Amino acid sequence: MTTGANEDGFHLRHVNLERDIKVTKWASLRTVKAGELCVATGRPLKIQRAIEVGHVFKLGTKYSLKLNACFVDETGVRRPFLMGCYGIGITRDDAGRYRTVQ
C-alpha cells in the first residue's frame, strides 16, 4: 500500500502493514446519532446545522501534470506546480442534510 510519510508532499510506497506499521490500537468507527452519550463528557449529543469555516485541499501535482502547468526552477529544470485550493462551504451528512455534531 501507499501511505503518508508525515511530511507534506511525501508518501511511502510498497508499505506492508504487518512488516512496517506497529498498530497500537484498532477502532470500529461509525456515524453517531442525536441523543447518544458523548464518550468524553457523558452528555447527550446534539446534531445541528453548521457552516464549514474553511477547508484546504492539497492537490499536489494531480492537475498540474494533466494541464502541463509547469515552472522552470533555479537550475533550469521544468517542474509541475504543487497545487492547492481552499473553500468555505456547508457540511453535509450522508443523506445530504446540513449537519454537525456538538
pLDDT in tens, 62-80: 999 999 999 999 999 999 9
Query: What pLDDT is recorded for position 51?
Result: 67
> Is pLDDT at 89 greater than 50 in this prediction?
yes
> Is pLDDT at 101 greater than 50 in this prediction?
no
Return d(Cα 81, Cα 8) in angstroms, integer.
Answer: 14
Question: Structural domain of residue 43, as residue ranges?
Answer: 3-101
Which residues pair with residue 71 across a beta bridge?
Answer: 79
What's the pLDDT band for 49 if we cut at 50, 70, 90?
confident
> Is pLDDT at 56 greater than 90 in this prediction?
no
- Quote the DSSP letter at residue 27: -
Q: What are the E-state strand segments in the chain?
A: 3-4, 11-12, 47-48, 55-60, 70-72, 78-80, 83-87, 100-101
Domains in the chain: how many in total?
Answer: 1
Query: What pLDDT is recorded for position 87?
Result: 73
Model confidence pTM above 0.85: no
